[in-house]
Amino acid sequence: QVQLVESGGGLVQAGDSLLLSCVISGGTLRRYTVGWFRQAPGKERLFVAAIKSNGGYTYYADSVKGRFTISRDIAKNTVNLQMDSLKPDDTAVYYCAADAHLIQSSIRQSVHYDYWGQGTQVTVSS
């Protein structure tokens, strides 16, 4: 059974940086496309970034492009999300998700991911 565990959330000020990590167990990271999503109170869960299983291609939401960087360490079965120049609008619970069978057109849609972590809170104060 594949399990995902996020870490690295916290309370920061606008302009600060945070590094979120997602450790995957029960499976080999190379087989999985891993995405990060976020959900603010009372709002839907939104795509943030993803890294594809084959080739490690990366995808970003327009709202985070140029500020967030997704990367993976296959040896450590870990996917990281480096978040720079944080804004109050980035405040949300951040989830990592994984799936072994995603096609490119499905990467930004949460419904297509089979495995999810428990989430980590990120709060950015102004």
The band of 55, judged by pLDDT with boundaries at 50, 70 and 90, is: confident
The band of 26, judged by pLDDT with boundaries at 50, 70 and 90, is: very high
What letter does residue 16 receive in the DSSP assignment? -
Neighbours of 122 (CB within 10 A): 21
CB-side exposure of 77: number of CA atoms within 13 Å? 13
Whether 54 has a pLDDT exceeding 90, the answer reads no
- Phi, psi (rounded to 5 degrees) for 77: 50, 40
Whether 71 has a pLDDT exceeding 90, the answer reads yes
Average pLDDT, the chain: 96
Q: Which two tokens mark 107?
A: 């990467």
Query: What is residue 34's predicted lDDT score, i.e. its pLDDT?
Result: 98
Across the range 40-63, mean pLDDT stands at: 95
| Residue 115 Cα distances to 58, 64, 69, 95, 111, angstroms | 19, 23, 21, 10, 10
